Structure 1
Amino acid sequence: MFRTVIAALLLLSATAHADVVFGFVANRGIEQGLEDWQPIADDMSQRLGQKVRLLAVRDDKELSERFARNEIQIARSSTQTALNLVEHGNGQVFARLVLTGGKGEYRSLLLTRKGGPATLEAALSQPKRLNFASGFNGNTATYLIPQYLAFAKGNVLADQYFKSISYGNSLDNFRALVDGKADLAASSSDEYEKLQERFPKDAAKLQVIWQSPAFSYDPLVIRRDVPATTQGKIRDFFVQYGRTGAAASNEMTKLYYADQLAGFLPSTNRQLREVTDLQLFYALFRLTLNNQLAQDARKEQEKALYRRYDQLVSILGGAY
């Protein structure tokens, strides 16, 4: 009995002092991402009283998998990936990012080289001639939004229309376009601003030919099984960071160099309602163009899509 009690106490102690892992997609490269975020992770470690480690990953798929396996407790993710984490990965949204200048929204972009197609209509009048550099499947800004709002709205299914499609982060897509390996590339307004600052000569060769309506900026997601006390400390850290206390000015500098951020605002799962309609409509569009399905199978898949949509709306707080 005594040994059992001691073992339980040791387990509780180890759990209480386990590392907290903050994971994010490294759009500017793994090494650069870790270097940029380390000062903030150090401050979080001090505030929480336990070690905070960074885990930079290449794409949203890896972020989702590691979060679901509890290798990541806090995730900075795209909205679409956050939806997956809430639906399947035991996550909940607790904050969202704000950019320098107080911007809390972004737009998806499509870019070409100057001298290439100057409008979206021009790009979509050249079937099987253009190479497209897309975001990874699962990224909201560089995959879902352009796939539906730019392409599907024009009755174009990207994987049937372009000569080739490559998948990468915003830096990959930017470089593919500059180097002539792609004719059209997906990005987002915030990432493109950073790339313009980092590579001004290369950016001067490019042009924006399409932009989406504004969407709320990336959410922060925490695992629901993180102890409630720790969750509270983490929420307080992010919402207060760069805004309160004697170190706020220094923290603002760290935020800027981490990702040109101005801080974080409280948020909830409700934020994710922005993409549930896009997901449904895009899936229905793909289903409509699938000529391989029998009528009964098509109807069943359509019902399944609507069932999932209704479940998500319920999880995220109901209709608008």
Structure 2
Amino acid sequence: MLKTLTASAAGIATALALGATAAKAEMPEQINFGIISTESATVLEASFTPFLEDMEKSLGVTVKPFFASDYAGVIEGMRFGKVDVAWFGNKSAIEAVDRAGGEVFAQTIKDDGSRGYHSLLITHKDSKLNSLEDVLACDQTLSFGNGDPNSTSGFAIPGYYVWALNNKEPEDCFARVTNSNHEGNAMAVASGKVDVATNNTESIYARLAKTNPEAASNIKEIWRSPIIPSDPMVWRKELSAEVKQQMYFFFMQYGRFGDLEKVKRERAVLANLSDGWGPFLASSNAQLLDVRQIEAFKDKIKAQNAGDEEGVKAAEAKLAELQAYSGIVGQAGY
């Protein structure tokens, strides 16, 4: 586990210096950039195109977006070499690291400099539901829009804070449970098709408020999670050192170095991505520790409820290992 968590840190310290001098390093003919399905592919492509065009110019090779109907599609794309670098949430990044040979190398931040966001439960503005306690009344009369199973804020975080800590599952509380991405859940709530749904502060207050203010005005927040670390960027660890150096240099200098006009234009491009990003920060697989601990705790609760003593021991051992490592790297040890 610790080897996996620390793998992406190797070689990163010298990447900026090397990237600047490796301008003509051997590159593949094409880089495929995976984009998780938080919104429709049309919306995502429009916002990411200027950034990918700049990446293409910097690397000197074609950079193509890779879309899938769900998060798993991007994970599988990386697993089979069809995705070289991707934007993931923390939960889906764990899957990419563990199952698809990925490595975290950078972290997104917001354009105001903040390094996190929050998972939400949302409902229609006219709903009688006003709190988590109202949801946990569990009268089996309402419908629930859960997130993609590989989504951090749409599934993993509410799965822990809303359900596991209260010893419940969505099926215990609702007559109907569906799964969708953030945009789909937001629109379902705004139109009254779903009574309660998961979402996050980025999707509702940064994206939907801009792209569909009428729908956003019909939504109210009834629960907010503790802060979640901002999304990671992940590359295939099989990529050559030369490719990683050039790619890392591009990400770290973007919107940060150069003349005023260049920085201003790149900051505007970043501000149009997702909930509005700022320049990237260096990161590693250690960024995933918080969500790994949440997943391990959920495993422990599930094993306890099933009377699985061996499962409880395995989950406790995993939690102890993760907590020990977390104590070393701390909050800023990515």
- TM-score for the superposition, normalised by structure 2: 0.84
SS at match of 2:278: strand
Aligned-pair distance for 1:92? 1.0
- Provide the residue aligned with 2:271 in structure 1: 256
Q: Report the number of matched residues.
A: 300
Contact 1:108 1:211 in 2 (8 A): yes
1:26: Cα distance to partner? Answer: 2.9
Counting only pairs closer than 5 Å after superposition, residues 1-320 of structure 1 correspond to structure 2 as 16-116=27-127, 117-193=129-205, 194-246=207-259, 247-259=262-274, 260-290=276-306, 298-306=308-316
Distance 1:318 1:62 in 2: 34
How big is the shift at 1:253?
Answer: 1.4
Distance 1:55 1:314, change over 3 A: farther
Q: Which of structures 1 and 2 has the bigger CA Rg?
A: 1
Query: 1:264, CA displacement in angstroms?
Result: 0.9
**8 Å Cα contact 1:99-1:262 kept in structure 2:** yes
Pair 35,205 (structure 1): closer, same or farther in 2 beyond 3 Å: closer
| Partners of 1:34 and 1:55 within 8 A in 2 | no
Q: Over residues 138-194 of structure 1, what are the superposed CA-to-partner deviations in whole Å (9 max), with x where a residue is unaligned?
A: 111110101110222222222332211111111100111112111111111111111
SS of 1:54's equivalent in the other structure is: strand
Task: Tell whether the 8 Å contact from 1:27 to 1:58 is kept in structure 2 after alignment.
Answer: no
Q: Tell me the CA shift for residue 89 of structure 1.
A: 1.5
Is the contact made by 1:313 and 1:319 (CA closer than 8 Å) also made in structure 2?
no
Question: What letter is aligned with 2:269?
Answer: K
The separation in 2 between residues aligned to 1:267 and 1:177, in whole angstroms, is: 35
Q: Which amino acid aligns with 2:300?
A: L
Shift, 1:58, TM fit: 2.6
Q: Return the alpha-carbon distance in structure 2 between the equivalents of residues 154 and 245 of structure 1.
A: 51
Deviation at residue 85 of structure 1 after TM alignment: 1.6
Q: d(CA) in 2 for partners of 1:48 and 1:236?
A: 10
Distance 1:26 1:157 in 2: 25
What is the CA distance between 1:309 and its match in structure 2?
A: 5.2
CA shift in 2, pair 1:73/1:215, >3 Å:
same
Q: Distance in 2 between matches of 1:198 and 1:191?
A: 10
Distance 1:69 1:304 in 2: 30
* 8 Å Cα contact 1:20-1:53 kept in structure 2: yes
TM-score w.r.t. length of structure 1: 0.87
2:116–2:228 Cα contact (<8 Å) kept: yes
AA in 1 matched with 2:287: Q
CA distance, structure 1, for counterparts of residue 65 and residue 27 of structure 2: 18
* 1:307 Cα deviation after fit: 5.6
The structural deviation recorded for 1:313 is 7.0
Q: For 2:67, what is the secondary structure of its paired residue?
A: strand
Structure 1 CA distance for aligned equivalents of residues 30 and 320 of structure 2: 37
Structure 2: which amino acid aligns with 1:238? F
Find the aligned partners of 1:315 and 1:73 in 2 and give their Cα distance.
28
Shift in Å, 1:287: 2.8
**Identity rate of aligned residues, in percent?**
26
Q: Is the 8 A contact 2:300 2:316 kept in 1?
A: no
When the two chains are superposed, the root-mean-square deviation of aligned CA atoms in Å is: 2.1
SS of residue matched to 2:109: strand
Unpaired runs of 5+ residues, structure 1, are 1-14
- Counterpart amino acid of residue 132 in structure 2: L
Cα gap change, 1:40/1:187 in structure 2, threshold over 3 Å: closer, same or farther?
same
Q: What SS does the corresponding residue of 1:242 show, helix, strand or coil?
A: coil
User: C-alpha displacement at 1:312, in angstroms?
Assistant: 6.5
* CA distance in structure 1 between the aligned counterparts of 2:316 and 2:82, rounded to whole angstroms: 32
Further displaced range: 151-160 or 172-181: 151-160
Contact 2:37 2:71 survives alignment (8 Å): no
**1:5 counterpart residue number:** none
Which runs of at least 4 in structure 1 moved beyond 6 Å after TM superposition? Answer: 310-319
